[in-house]
Chains A and B, each alone.
Chain A
Amino acid sequence: DTAVSQTPKYLVTQMGNDKSIKCEQNLGHDTMYWYKQDSKKFLKIMFSYNNKELIINETVPNRFSPKSPDKAHLNLHINSLELGDSAVYFCASSQRGGGRQETQYFGPGTRLLVL
């Protein structure tokens, strides 16, 4: 069983389109994240939700809107896609209350290519 899963794995789309990436975790965690791996291979946090509430919101264009229908799901919707949005997007989850030992578990990534 995959602990953190993302769909789709690959997404090729045209500039200006709207698309969504879905993430689901079956670990029973209460916190989920979206990261973007940029062209220099940096993993940068975009958003984090705890119990469906937004707790981290980095400087991300407001074309990106996360939605957490429940603790096990965190979806990422992107409006008006731009060429610079091409990247690999990773979802992760963790259980808060683990104190300093809190570990994040990552999904396999979604490779987005905007043409």
Chain B
Amino acid sequence: ILNVEQSPQSLHVQEGDSTNFTCSFPSSNFYALHWYRWETAKSPEALFVMTLNGDEKKKGRISATLNTKEGYSYLYIKGSQPEDSATYLCAFIRSYGGATNKLIFGTGTLLAVQP
């Protein structure tokens, strides 16, 4: 059974705070890790696809790092804004010679940014 775990489950911060959360995944046979942003009543939107150990990706105030050897990824948001409020999902793909597009999702971290 492949488990992808995210912590914390939810997070409440004030506008302007910086924050980060964690995605843990099995470290064996790593293929790729995806981060998605999911606003209420909308579809999940891709933020990053990370593939190499040590990868760092950045999009505006949001950045992510990847450690495939120990099986974790961090997502950072600098200077949180109310519009950052959403659920942040990570999804893991394992290389096992089968379908390499099979995303295994975590339960997400729900971020609420208060003005």
Contact = CB atoms under 8 A, between A and B. Distances in A.
A105 B47 CA distance: 11
B43 A109 contact: yes
A45 interface: yes
A48 B31 contact: no
Interface string A29-43: 001010000001111
B65 interface: no
Contacts of A56: 99, 101-102
Interface residues of B, number: 22
Given A90-B43, A103-B49, A45 B34 contact: no
Nearest to A57: B99
Contact of B51 (A31, A101, A105, A109): A101
Q: Give the size range of A's interface with the partner.
A: 20 to 34
B91 to A, nearest CB: 8
A45 to B, nearest CB: 6
A94 interface: yes
A43 B101 contact: no
A8 B42 CA distance: 15
A79 interface: no
B99 A55 contact: yes
A107 B31 CA distance: 24
Given A90-B43, A104-B46, A45 B102 contact: yes
A102 B49 CA distance: 8
Interface of A: 4, 31, 33, 40-45, 48, 55-56, 90, 94, 96, 100-109
Sort A-B residue pairs by CB-CB distance and give the 3 closest, nearest first.
Answer: A106-B43, A100-B51, A43-B105
